[in-house]
Amino acid sequence: MGFKLEKVIPWGRSLTEYVKMFHLTPNDLHLRILDCAGGPASFNAEMTHRGYSVISCDPIYQFSADEITQRIQETYPTVIDGVKANLESYSWQDIQSPEQLGQIRMTAMQRFLDDLPLGIQQERYVRAELPTLPFECDRFDLALCSHFLFTYSDLLSQDFHLASIRELCRVAAEVRIFPLLNISGEPSSLLPFIRKELAAQGYNLEIKQVPYEFQRGGNQLLQVWRTKAPYVTSV
Protein backbone atom coordinates (compact mmCIF):
# COMPACT_ATOMS: atom_id res chain seq x y z
CA MET A 1 0.00 0.00 0.00
CA GLY A 2 1.45 3.35 -1.06
CA PHE A 3 1.48 6.67 0.71
CA LYS A 4 -1.96 8.31 0.43
CA LEU A 5 -2.47 12.08 0.41
CA GLU A 6 -5.94 11.73 1.92
CA LYS A 7 -4.29 10.44 5.11
CA VAL A 8 -2.21 13.62 5.47
CA ILE A 9 -3.07 16.91 7.16
CA PRO A 10 -0.63 19.40 5.59
CA TRP A 11 0.52 22.08 8.02
CA GLY A 12 3.62 24.14 7.24
CA ARG A 13 5.84 26.45 9.27
CA SER A 14 8.05 29.36 8.28
CA LEU A 15 11.77 30.10 8.45
CA THR A 16 11.16 32.39 11.44
CA GLU A 17 9.52 29.51 13.32
CA TYR A 18 12.28 27.07 12.35
CA VAL A 19 14.93 29.43 13.69
CA LYS A 20 13.14 29.51 17.05
CA MET A 21 12.08 25.84 17.17
CA PHE A 22 15.57 24.57 16.43
CA HIS A 23 17.49 27.43 18.05
CA LEU A 24 19.29 28.06 14.77
CA THR A 25 22.15 30.55 14.97
CA PRO A 26 23.39 32.63 12.02
CA ASN A 27 26.27 30.16 11.67
CA ASP A 28 23.85 27.21 11.66
CA LEU A 29 22.11 28.67 8.62
CA HIS A 30 25.33 28.30 6.59
CA LEU A 31 25.48 24.53 7.21
CA ARG A 32 24.31 21.82 4.82
CA ILE A 33 20.84 21.21 6.25
CA LEU A 34 18.36 18.37 5.83
CA ASP A 35 14.74 19.15 6.70
CA CYS A 36 13.32 15.68 7.28
CA ALA A 37 9.53 15.26 7.18
CA GLY A 38 9.49 18.87 6.04
CA GLY A 39 5.98 18.74 4.59
CA PRO A 40 4.64 22.05 3.24
CA ALA A 41 6.95 24.28 5.30
CA SER A 42 8.38 27.37 3.63
CA PHE A 43 11.77 26.82 5.32
CA ASN A 44 13.41 25.47 2.16
CA ALA A 45 11.96 28.19 -0.08
CA GLU A 46 12.98 30.99 2.25
CA MET A 47 16.44 29.59 2.92
CA THR A 48 17.09 29.03 -0.80
CA HIS A 49 15.97 32.59 -1.55
CA ARG A 50 18.63 33.79 0.93
CA GLY A 51 21.33 31.68 -0.67
CA TYR A 52 21.55 28.87 1.90
CA SER A 53 21.64 25.11 1.28
CA VAL A 54 18.63 22.99 2.31
CA ILE A 55 17.30 19.64 1.12
CA SER A 56 13.80 18.71 2.30
CA CYS A 57 12.47 15.17 2.25
CA ASP A 58 8.92 13.94 2.71
CA PRO A 59 6.65 11.44 0.94
CA ILE A 60 4.22 14.28 0.22
CA TYR A 61 6.58 15.56 -2.48
CA GLN A 62 5.37 12.86 -4.85
CA PHE A 63 2.22 14.92 -5.31
CA SER A 64 1.76 18.06 -7.40
CA ALA A 65 1.29 21.55 -6.01
CA ASP A 66 -2.35 21.44 -7.16
CA GLU A 67 -3.00 18.15 -5.35
CA ILE A 68 -1.42 19.41 -2.14
CA THR A 69 -3.34 22.70 -2.43
CA GLN A 70 -6.61 20.80 -2.65
CA ARG A 71 -5.72 18.74 0.42
CA ILE A 72 -4.82 21.90 2.37
CA GLN A 73 -8.17 23.42 1.49
CA GLU A 74 -9.97 20.25 2.58
CA THR A 75 -8.26 19.97 5.98
CA TYR A 76 -7.66 23.61 6.95
CA PRO A 77 -11.10 24.21 8.57
CA THR A 78 -10.79 21.02 10.62
CA VAL A 79 -7.38 22.04 11.97
CA ILE A 80 -8.50 25.55 12.92
CA ASP A 81 -11.71 24.25 14.52
CA GLY A 82 -9.60 21.81 16.54
CA VAL A 83 -7.37 24.62 17.77
CA LYS A 84 -10.40 26.74 18.72
CA ALA A 85 -11.81 23.82 20.72
CA ASN A 86 -8.56 23.48 22.69
CA LEU A 87 -7.39 27.06 23.22
CA GLU A 88 -5.96 26.29 26.65
CA SER A 89 -3.51 23.81 25.12
CA TYR A 90 -1.62 26.59 23.36
CA SER A 91 0.46 29.59 24.36
CA TRP A 92 -0.96 32.69 22.70
CA GLN A 93 2.09 34.94 22.91
CA ASP A 94 3.76 35.37 19.51
CA ILE A 95 0.63 34.00 17.83
CA GLN A 96 -2.39 35.67 19.39
CA SER A 97 -5.42 33.93 17.91
CA PRO A 98 -6.49 30.92 15.82
CA GLU A 99 -7.20 33.31 12.97
CA GLN A 100 -3.66 34.69 13.06
CA LEU A 101 -2.31 31.14 13.29
CA GLY A 102 -4.23 30.28 10.14
CA GLN A 103 -2.85 33.30 8.30
CA ILE A 104 0.74 32.45 9.29
CA ARG A 105 0.41 28.81 8.28
CA MET A 106 -1.34 29.56 4.99
CA THR A 107 1.31 32.14 4.07
CA ALA A 108 4.06 29.59 4.74
CA MET A 109 2.28 26.84 2.81
CA GLN A 110 1.59 29.10 -0.17
CA ARG A 111 5.26 30.02 -0.34
CA PHE A 112 6.10 26.31 -0.34
CA LEU A 113 3.54 25.60 -3.07
CA ASP A 114 4.92 28.38 -5.24
CA ASP A 115 8.44 26.99 -4.81
CA LEU A 116 7.63 23.27 -5.17
CA PRO A 117 7.85 22.84 -8.99
CA LEU A 118 11.25 24.54 -9.21
CA GLY A 119 12.42 22.84 -6.01
CA ILE A 120 11.57 19.43 -7.47
CA GLN A 121 13.58 20.24 -10.61
CA GLN A 122 16.53 21.38 -8.50
CA GLU A 123 16.20 18.27 -6.28
CA ARG A 124 15.71 20.39 -3.17
CA TYR A 125 12.48 18.49 -2.42
CA VAL A 126 13.08 14.74 -2.32
CA ARG A 127 10.42 12.06 -2.02
CA ALA A 128 11.65 10.01 0.94
CA GLU A 129 10.60 8.96 4.40
CA LEU A 130 12.03 7.56 7.58
CA PRO A 131 13.40 5.18 8.66
CA THR A 132 15.34 4.80 5.37
CA LEU A 133 16.70 7.85 3.54
CA PRO A 134 18.28 7.90 0.04
CA PHE A 135 21.31 9.98 1.06
CA GLU A 136 24.93 8.96 1.46
CA CYS A 137 26.61 8.96 4.87
CA ASP A 138 27.60 12.39 6.19
CA ARG A 139 25.82 14.22 3.37
CA PHE A 140 24.63 16.91 5.79
CA ASP A 141 26.00 18.90 8.69
CA LEU A 142 22.62 19.25 10.41
CA ALA A 143 19.33 17.33 10.18
CA LEU A 144 16.11 18.87 11.49
CA CYS A 145 12.91 16.97 12.20
CA SER A 146 9.84 18.98 13.16
CA HIS A 147 6.53 17.67 14.51
CA PHE A 148 6.98 14.05 13.46
CA LEU A 149 9.19 11.98 15.74
CA PHE A 150 7.78 11.99 19.31
CA THR A 151 4.75 13.94 18.06
CA TYR A 152 3.23 10.69 16.80
CA SER A 153 4.39 8.52 19.69
CA ASP A 154 1.04 6.73 19.73
CA LEU A 155 1.34 5.71 16.07
CA LEU A 156 5.08 5.18 15.56
CA SER A 157 6.82 2.51 17.62
CA GLN A 158 9.93 2.88 19.74
CA ASP A 159 11.79 0.73 17.21
CA PHE A 160 10.73 3.11 14.45
CA HIS A 161 11.99 6.07 16.49
CA LEU A 162 15.32 4.39 17.19
CA ALA A 163 15.85 3.39 13.57
CA SER A 164 14.85 6.84 12.35
CA ILE A 165 17.18 8.72 14.68
CA ARG A 166 20.07 6.40 13.82
CA GLU A 167 19.35 6.99 10.14
CA LEU A 168 19.34 10.75 10.63
CA CYS A 169 22.67 10.44 12.46
CA ARG A 170 24.02 8.41 9.54
CA VAL A 171 23.37 11.17 7.03
CA ALA A 172 24.09 14.18 9.29
CA ALA A 173 26.69 15.08 11.89
CA GLU A 174 24.04 16.52 14.20
CA VAL A 175 20.30 15.95 14.57
CA ARG A 176 17.73 18.19 16.23
CA ILE A 177 14.18 16.98 16.91
CA PHE A 178 11.33 19.26 17.99
CA PRO A 179 9.07 19.12 19.98
CA LEU A 180 9.31 16.42 22.63
CA LEU A 181 5.54 16.31 23.20
CA ASN A 182 3.04 14.00 21.59
CA ILE A 183 0.19 15.35 19.50
CA SER A 184 -1.99 15.61 22.63
CA GLY A 185 0.52 17.97 24.23
CA GLU A 186 1.92 15.50 26.75
CA PRO A 187 5.61 14.56 27.13
CA SER A 188 6.30 11.65 24.80
CA SER A 189 6.31 8.36 26.69
CA LEU A 190 9.01 7.11 24.32
CA LEU A 191 11.59 9.75 25.17
CA PRO A 192 13.17 8.10 28.28
CA PHE A 193 13.57 4.78 26.47
CA ILE A 194 14.98 6.41 23.33
CA ARG A 195 17.51 8.42 25.30
CA LYS A 196 18.65 5.36 27.25
CA GLU A 197 18.98 3.16 24.17
CA LEU A 198 20.81 5.73 22.06
CA ALA A 199 23.22 6.52 24.89
CA ALA A 200 23.92 2.80 25.29
CA GLN A 201 24.70 2.63 21.55
CA GLY A 202 27.29 5.38 21.84
CA TYR A 203 25.31 8.42 20.78
CA ASN A 204 25.48 11.73 22.60
CA LEU A 205 22.22 13.40 23.55
CA GLU A 206 21.14 16.66 25.09
CA ILE A 207 17.76 18.24 25.72
CA LYS A 208 17.83 21.97 25.10
CA GLN A 209 15.40 24.78 25.84
CA VAL A 210 14.39 26.79 22.78
CA PRO A 211 12.85 30.26 22.35
CA TYR A 212 9.64 28.86 20.89
CA GLU A 213 6.49 27.58 22.55
CA PHE A 214 3.11 27.20 20.89
CA GLN A 215 2.00 23.89 22.36
CA ARG A 216 2.12 24.56 26.09
CA GLY A 217 5.30 22.93 27.42
CA GLY A 218 6.60 22.38 23.90
CA ASN A 219 9.77 24.43 24.24
CA GLN A 220 12.49 21.78 24.16
CA LEU A 221 14.40 19.94 21.45
CA LEU A 222 16.47 16.77 21.49
CA GLN A 223 19.98 17.13 20.07
CA VAL A 224 21.71 13.92 19.01
CA TRP A 225 25.16 13.39 17.57
CA ARG A 226 27.66 10.61 17.17
CA THR A 227 30.93 10.23 19.07
CA LYS A 228 32.46 13.34 17.61
CA ALA A 229 31.15 16.66 18.90
CA PRO A 230 28.51 18.52 16.88
CA TYR A 231 29.30 21.72 15.07
CA VAL A 232 30.10 24.53 17.48
CA THR A 233 28.18 27.64 16.57
CA SER A 234 27.74 31.05 18.05
CA VAL A 235 25.18 33.79 17.67
Domains of the chain with bracketed CATH: 5-225 (3.40.50.150)
Strand intervals (E) in the chain: 33-36, 54-57, 125-126, 140-146, 172-178, 204-209, 220-225
| Cα 132 to Cα 128: distance, rounded to the nearest angstrom | 8
Q: Report pLDDT digits (tens) over 180-192.
A: 999 999 999 999 9
Q: Report pLDDT digits (tens) over 145-170.
A: 999 999 999 999 999 999 999 999 99
State percent of the chain over pLDDT 70.
95
Strand intervals (E) in 13-128: 33-36, 54-57, 125-126
